[in-house]
Chain A
Amino acid sequence: MSRPFLLEAREISFRAGEQLILDRVSLRLHEEEILTLIGPNGAGKTTLLKLLIGLATPSSGSVWRREALRVGYMPQKLHVDAALPLSAGRFLQIAERDMSRVREVAAEVGVERLLKTPLAGVSGGELQRLLLARALLRSPELLLLDEPVQGVDVAGQAELYALIREVRSRHRCAVLMISHDLHVVMASTDTVLCLNRHVCCAGRPEVVSHDPAYLQLFGRHAAEQMAVYTHHHDHAHDLQGNVIGEHRHG
């Protein structure tokens, strides 16, 4: 890819006490690129994300970010204590004082009607949308999404992924995403990076899906699943629709 890049990790390692969480990981992320991190639990995906945006410091190696890079971050979980009375609108206002802009972004992700609802009273899918809205309030050049559909029902997952695609093409930002949904990874990703403490393999999704390291990590079944979806690349929506239908009636 010839576009200039936004950030680069050079041989970063991260240790927590004795344990090596990440081992000499290198990657580059270009403008408007969609890069997806896949890998088993405990592979260090979230840690890598945090290192890339400076929420943690690598034990060795270095991270370069373009100067004044605006980052929007959607964390995996949000724990707001029930003792804190907070409406969804007030939650967004922490990032942006200007209420008219908060309304605008909330409308963009479809949570405008929730602004007066207490944060404790929103569903999993609504919370993810609110987190996405808060990330978008930063007018990000880079959007980091840590398992964005976690805690969302199957119907909501497809909608949320569609929304992320839509938002990305409108804002023309790069996306760095952690995801377990291999079919989504296939359908809408420029680059896949398969992580298991170290980089197992990286490249275009159809290349990665045939990589021996990938096959070993995810097993033949998952690999075949991914291959199937590759063939139906143009019909990602139909396929998702089918899955939803089966789920509802089954």
Chain B
Amino acid sequence: MGHRDIPVLDTQRLVLRGPEPQEYPDFKATFASYRSRFMGGPLNGYEAWMLYAAEIGHWEIRGYGMWMVHLRDTDETVGMAGGWFPAKWPEREIAWILWPEQAGKGYALEATHAVRRYYYEQKGWETAVSYIDPKNLEAIRLAERLGCTKDAGAPSVDGNDAVYRHPSPEALRGTQLAHGIDMEIAHYADPLFKPKGWALD
């Protein structure tokens, strides 16, 4: 499957589509910013463009990859989420990145939950990990909200990252964990039930 066949994923607030050339400026701005410090950035313009090209090329080479995450209401982009498996990665990763100004609204949770469901239910993945810098508390917190647990026995990319193992497909089928994730997303979508916040550490 190449880029032209990328499926569209719909969630309550989001639409996930294949990345397009005109969406590059938001990607570039994020990877030029401090936000990208745990993802190999900040990058200069050439590096950022080559990485964006690689995000798209990943679909051509692997048949899956990272989606661009849009708001359903306005179509503006808020980040990317999807599968990521470059050379030297021990196993397939579920990854996400949000533009700095879009953090804190539950978009990464909603998008990542949707892409994980797609890979589990449509593509037959039995497991997945997320490789996270141990200093990236925000990402660790999101991984834990998604039900991931630290897998100390699994190989990391380069020894500087922690491996968070996603719950299995079975553990997400009609379970309390699955309902909890759905409920948290629903709370973000309906501000009447806005969560009261969480511990940072």
- Real binding pair: no
